[in-house]
Amino acid sequence: MLSGALTDQTSEARDIVGYGDTVVLQFHMTALHSGTFAGAPATGKRVKWDEIGVLHFDDAGKITDLWFMCQELSLAEQIGYKVQLS
């Protein structure tokens, strides 16, 4: 679980752009790698990554669709995974 393995999380909104029924968010995350995450044991290191979210809203202002993308490769390297070309 993300919140159990990456504790003491902070989130800083850097960009928020809206047009019509769509909002795009870009934010910076930090957390303490304090538990096993994606098979990697806790390192006790502070990790950081950026995320982008795209949200769509209906006429009542409720979210109808939500999509997020994060810097997974950067996070994986910070918790000990090594990237190797085959």
- Each residue of 55-86: pLDDT tens digit? 999 999 999 999 999 998 999 999 999 988 88
Closest C-alpha among 60, 63, 85, 75 to residue 28: 75
Q: What is this structure's pTM? A: 0.79
- Taking CA atoms, 65 is separated from 46, 51, 52, 62, in Å, by 31, 17, 14, 9
Query: Residue 4 class from Cβ within 10 Å (0-12 exposed, 13-18 middle, 19+ buried)?
Result: exposed
Architecture, CATH, for domain 2-78: Roll (3.10)
